[in-house]
Each structure stands twice: as structure tokens, then as C-alpha cells.
Amino acid sequence: MLASLLSFLSVIARKFTPESIMSAQRERTFIAVKPDGVQRGLVGEIIKRFEAKGFKLAGMKFMKASEELLKQHYIDLADKPFYPGLCKYMASGPLVAMCWEGTGVVKTARVMMGETRPADSKPGTIRGDFCIEVGRNIIHGSDSIESANKEIALWFRPEELTSWTQANDSWIYESNE
Ligand SMILES: *[C@@H]1O[C@H](CO)[C@@H](O)[C@H](O)[C@H]1NC(C)=O
């Protein structure tokens, strides 16, 4: 009796709780298809892999990034000799900036991308399949949850990110925590 009352109440509660409150936001990461990936026509291929995996797109824009933005993005590498060249390469053409969401997405995206050096990347990973040199490694992904949060805030205004429920969510996740 009590159990059925409780389950009735939880059904009512769900029905009247806004979606944004009900589905606690999962982890997010920042992914960019670099200018070489765009020039080589790999945007669709890369998005396809993240979609097929089950991750959810929360934001995306096609843009030419300013050198100031890129300098900020790579600020941790500012004392490296390759820093100016890296910023120049990233500013050399349009790129696709994306925010992807899902449980463990920061780490899993890194696994899907392969190693920073394409030569160390296994076949089946994005870099393992599509590129050869570290300076033309076609994709960026945040290396930790902390840098993901920083990078998302740097590349996207809050209103450029969208919360939504994937139709197949309950077939991708066992529980909707
Ligand atoms: C989600 O459902 C659509 C439509 O059935 C399907 O095409 C897509 O591959 C599914 N996505 C995942 C990650 O299973």
C-alpha cells in the first residue's frame, strides 16, 4: 500500500518536474575539429563517431578562431617553443568547436581521439585512422574535467549550450541519474 502510494507520488513528481531539473547534467567536454580536419572534409566523420557512441551534442559552432582566443586556449603551453606555431595553425582556417555531453565523456573522447602523436595512435581511433603528424592531428579534446570546464566557458557563451533529452537516452544509459 505504502509502496504503491510512493510510486504514485514519484510518477506525479516526475510529470511536473521540469526536464532541466529532472535530468541532472552529465559531464561535458570541449572538442574541436581543427582547421586541417575541416579542410580534409572530416567534420562529418568525427561527429558521426561521437553520435554513434551515444554522446550528446550540447553546442557547436563553425568559426575562424581569433589568435587571442587561441592564445588563451593554449595558455598552459605558452612557454613551449611550438606555442606560436600552434596558435597560427589553429587560426589558419575555420574550425568546428563543439561541446559533447555524457558519462565519462572527457576521458572516453580522449580514447576515441587516440594519442596526441598520431604515430602512437591505434587504428580505430580518430588520429590513428586519419592523420600522420602531431602538428596536423585534426582534433582537440579537453584533457581533464577541469580543463573541459575552462575551455567550454572560453569557447561558448552559456546561451550557446543546449540542454535536451536524447530520444534513446534510456537505451544508452541503464539509469537516469
Ligand atoms: C538513436 O536512435 C536513432 C534512431 O533510431 C538511431 O539512428 C541512432 O543510431 C541512435 N543512437 C545511438 C547512440 O544509439
Query: Does residue 13 have a pLDDT over 90?
Result: no
Q: What value does the mean pLDDT take over residues 91-111?
A: 98
The predicted-structure confidence for 131-153, as pLDDT tens digits, reads as follows 999 999 999 999 999 999 999 99
* pLDDT score at 77: 96
Residue 168 CB less than 6 A away from ligand 1: yes
| Separation of CA 66 and ligand 1 centre (Å) | 35
Mean pLDDT (whole number) for 47-65: 98
Evaluate the CA torsion angle 66, 71, 73, 77 in order and state its sign.
positive
pLDDT level of residue 24 (50, 70, 90 thresholds): low
Q: What percent of the chain has pLDDT over 90?
A: 84
Predicted confidence (pLDDT) at residue 14 exceeds the cutoff of 80: no
Question: How far is the CA of 24 from the CAs of 5, 68, 151, 161, 164, in angstroms?
Answer: 25, 34, 21, 15, 11
- Cβ of 170 below 6 Å from ligand 1: no
CB atoms within 10 A of CB 32: 23
Decide if 73 is catalytic: no
Task: Answer whether 87's CB lies under 8 Å from 74's CB.
Answer: yes
Q: What is the mean pLDDT of residues 80-90?
A: 95
- Ordered by where they begin, the domains of the chain are 26-164 (3.30.70.141)
- Is the predicted pLDDT of residue 6 greater than 80, yes or no? no
Tell me what pLDDT residue 2 has. 59
Please give the distance, rounded to the nearest whole angstrom, from the Cα atom of residue 116 to the centre of ligand 1: 29
Stretch (H or E) spanning 79: none
What's the Cα-to-Cα distance from 72 to each of 5, 105, 142, 149, 153, rounded to whole Å? 55, 23, 14, 14, 12
Residue range 100-106: average pLDDT?
98
Q: Is the pTM of this model over 0.95?
A: no
Q: Which residue has the cell 573522447?
A: 109
